[in-house]
Amino acid sequence: MKTAQFINSLGSSDLHSFTLCLQAYNDSASMRGEEIADIGFNTSSGYVYIVLENGICIASCFGQSVTYITTNYNNGEETFHETYAEAEEALSY
C-alpha cells in the first residue's frame, strides 16, 4: 500500500496515533539510526505501527501514548515496553 493510501485510510484517532508514532521516531536519535521497514494498521488490535529494521515496533492505538513492541520469533510472543531502551534490551535476550 502506498503511503498516501495508508494515511487516507486512517480515521481521525488512527491518524493521531500514526502522528504519535512518527513523532516518537523523529524525537529519538537512537531510533533514527534504524530505518523504517514497514508501516501499518492492525484492524484486530487497533494499533497503528511503524516497524523498524531491528524488529522493534512503535505502536499507538486510539491516540494513546506510544508503546514499543518486540516479538520473540521462536515462540511468537509479543512483549510491550514503555521505552525504546527497554525494547532494545528485550531484543538482546
Task: Calculate ∠ Cα 61-63-65, nearest 5°.
Answer: 80
Q: Average pLDDT for residues 15-24, to the nearest whole number?
A: 97
The per-residue pLDDT for range 33-89, each reduced to its tens digit, is 999 999 999 999 999 999 999 999 999 999 999 999 999 888 889 999 999 999 999
Residue type, 6: F
3 state SS for the chain: CCHHHHHHHCCHHHHHHHHHHHHHHHHCHHHHCCCEEEEEECCCCCEEEEEECCCCEEEEECCCCCEEEEECCCCCCEEEECCHHHHHHHHCC
Domain containing 76 equals 3-91
pTM of the model: 0.91
Give the pLDDT of residue 31: 87
Please give the tally of structural domains in the chain: 1
